[in-house]
Amino acid sequence: MSKLTDRLNLADKALENSKKAEAAAPRPSSNSPTSLAASSKARQRKEREKALIEENQRLQQDLEALTKSQEKLRAQLDDQGIGSQVGVYIEGDEIIGKIDPAIVRHSRFRNRLELAFKDPDFLDLKEDIYRLGRNEHPGKVRRITLDDGKPGFEVIYGHRRLEACKQLGLDFHAIISDLDDAQAIESMIRENDKNLPISCYEEAIRFKSWVTEEHIWPTYTAMAEQLGVSKGFVSQRTTILDLPEVIPQAVGDPRLLSLEVWRKINSAYIESPEEVVKLASEIADGANGFTLVDKAEAMARVERLLSAGKKSTRKPSKPKQEFKTSSGVPLFATKRSQLVVEFDPKIDAETRSEAVKMLEEFLSSRVSTS
């Protein structure tokens, strides 16, 4: 039974109780104080009854409209030849389809990595659906023409629920709608925010895809405005995709990293790209795609990548610079910008004078190059 029907029944019950209370109320003489109070209560009951009648009528109209939409949809599905694969019923304030997964495809706007259909969260979801015999929380679909030219549906949200139902051989329960691309994306984002938010890496992929591949919006700025996020919010995420593919593959499961961690990786790559890519290739070890790892393993791999950047940014110590006389006798040396002069007592005055000239030349060259 739908929520509209429940609310309609409650309104009917309240109206009935109000009328019973009015009939049972005593009727004192018209001039007594009790009579005045009773009249006031009677007026209040009349006002409540009027409000209940109006609410009852509105709910009745809503229910009739929803029922007509249900019947119209059922007729359309029959005309399309897929009525036998879709059961239609009302749940809450929505028309729900009990749909054969064979005629439902994943959306090209899907923003989950394939790992989302293998990880522990998905296995728990699949177990819950198996236990209940259906997906308790309906997904949302829109009517489309499938690749084979036949009518079917495309998921707006509920991709993991659909995949679980497919694997279990169960019908997929979903709200049936007719949204355009932009509306479908906005609906998907709202649902993700309420349930299992997607990672910043997945956000980066979807933002780039919607603008550069699907062309839902002409620019990132236009997309950000319609989605209600800042341009910085978008650019901070899409920057992740500037990294070579081998780097997120080396992490294993890029969904586990926060935006701050991705910034650190990006900084390391900018400072020493060759070293970071080389180490990432070693860590990935030829993996073609992503792999399920836990958070500890992912962060351990990140630390290895960051260490490559740290090693390459260490400044080498300045070499020791020796000064000798023309005959090869060492006089003094410099190291790490410090000058120490020590003359051997056996060195004669002429040699010391030569050393002073060399020192002057040295200091002059240091000043000119600084």
Ordered by start, the domain boundaries in the chain are 3-79, 81-198, 243-312, 321-369
Sequence-distant contacts of 1-6: CB under 8 A, at least 24 apart: 2/63, 2/66, 2/90, 2/91, 2/92, 2/93, 3/92, 3/93, 4/59, 4/62, 4/63, 4/66, 4/90, 4/93, 5/63
The pLDDT assigned to 114 comes to 87
* Residue numbers of the chain with a pLDDT score lower than 50: 1
Q: Which residues are within 8 A (CB) of 209 and not within 5 positions of it... i.e. 6 or more apart?
A: 109
Question: Whole-angstrom Cα distance, residue 100 to residue 8?
Answer: 32
Pairing mode, strands 139-145 and 172-177:
parallel
- Element (DSSP H or E) covering residue 183: helix 181-194
The pLDDT assigned to 176 comes to 94
Sign of the C-alpha dihedral computed for residues 172, 173, 178 and 180 taken in this order: negative
Question: Whole-angstrom Cα distance, residue 41 to residue 261?
Answer: 67
- Answering whether pTM is above 0.75, one says no
> What CA–CA distances, in Å, run from 75 to 71, 79, 80, 140?
6, 6, 9, 20
Topology (CATH) of 81-198: 3.90.1530
The pLDDT assigned to 261 comes to 96
The pLDDT assigned to 1 comes to 44
Question: Whole-angstrom Cα distance, residue 49 to residue 53?
Answer: 6
The pLDDT assigned to 60 comes to 86
- Element (DSSP H or E) covering residue 51: helix 33-80
The letter for the amino acid at 363 is L
Label residue 338 left, alpha or beta by phi (over 0 means left) and psi (-120 to 50 means alpha): beta
Q: Which residues are within 8 A (CB) of 275 and not within 5 positions of it... i.e. 6 or more apart?
A: 308, 309, 311, 312
